[in-house]
Amino acid sequence: MKIATDTWMLRPQPIDAVFSTVREAGFEYLELSPRPDVMPSYGGRRASKAKIAEIAEASKTHGVEIASIFIEQAWGSSEEDIRRAAVGYWKQTVQLAVDLGCDRINSEFTGRPTAPQAGEAAMRRSLEEVLPLAESEGVTLALEPHPGDWVESGVGAVDFIRGLQSDHVTYLHCVPHTFYLTGVEDERGQFKDVNRDIITYAGDTMDHVHLADTLLPGRTFLNPGSPGVRNHQHLDIGQGDIDWDEVFTALREVGFDGVVSVAVFRHESRVMESLTHNRRIIRERLEGGADQ
């Protein structure tokens, strides 16, 4: 199993500082999240040959491997010009992964939950163009249902991925999305912690997990309110309402041996404290080890 950290909180930092900070926090792997000088969200590649060389040098110098690249592209959009552009950006990201010696790209379904049929149709068209390239290059696409995507259900996402029948598309389980992963509220209008059920159901279809805490939607409010907003957070483990005993027990029971990434976005003012805190808990709960 690889323990990595997302680099979103470090995005303002130069490349070398990103890798050095990750290493100082005790990680040997990172998940390279969107950066304006590499691959921005919903845009095309920015990384030059010189930038690729800079990233490779930082990785070698600090002994930190790129376990995955995370991107956001609207390949599930029902607007055809946007979808086609997203496909082009996806192909650029596959090439970026190859250039960086990384064999994994993580992403979301996108689309809209109010139009699931249009979202699925658009995404299938996109996959028909992107997946052959990924397969030929040996790159795996790990997909997570994000609150607000055309599919929000964890089980629904797993079933869609299994139906593709490709060894190069897998399920990414994102714990801070917990309270939307049933796709619906229960009969009392409450949200459920379904991590254990989905992790068990996903089994070996799941090879990447994002770890961060979140609050029950009813404990946080938007002012002014906005209909349809999927309010959730990416907090340090222990700061929210996730049942972490259930999460870690389920991961051990299924024998998870993929990549786990710290996916905390909230604590840019204390990045080192946040990273070391979460890494320590993951090691203790999944590896049975403690930092010295």
Backbone angles phi, psi at 94, to 5 degrees: -60, -45
For the stretch 220-264, pLDDT in tens is 665 555 556 566 789 999 999 999 999 999 999 999 999 999 999
Q: What is the mean pLDDT of residues 123-139?
A: 98
Structure confidence by residue, pLDDT tens digits, 72-118: 999 999 999 999 999 999 999 999 999 999 999 999 999 999 999 99
* β-bridge partners, 68: 31
Q: What is the pLDDT of residue 287?
A: 84
The confidence score (pLDDT) of residue 216 equals 87
What is the rounded average pLDDT for all residues in the chain? 93
Note if the bond before 34 is cis, omega within 30 degrees. no
Cβ–Cβ < 8 Å for 23, 60: no
Q: Per the confidence metrics, is the pTM higher than 0.75?
A: yes
Query: What percent of the chain is predicted at pLDDT more than 90?
Result: 85
Confidence of residue 186 (pLDDT cuts 50, 70, 90): low
Q: Choose between 142 and 232: higher pLDDT.
A: 142
The model's confidence at residue 292, banded by pLDDT at 50, 70 and 90, is very low
Instruction: Kindly report which listed range (41-45, 166-170, 225-229) carries the lowest average pLDDT score.
Output: 225-229
Tell me which H or E stretch contains 6.
strand 2-6
Q: What is the pLDDT of residue 226?
A: 58
Per-position b or e across 203-227, b if 16+ CB within 10 A of its CB: eeebbbbbbbbbbbbeeeeeeeeee
pLDDT at residue 266, rounded to an integer: 85
Quick one: pLDDT at residue 232? Answer: 79
Give percent above pLDDT 70 in the chain. 91
Res 267: pLDDT:
87
The predicted structure's pLDDT at residue 229: 58
* pLDDT tier at 290, thresholds 50, 70, 90: low
3-state secondary structure of 129: helix
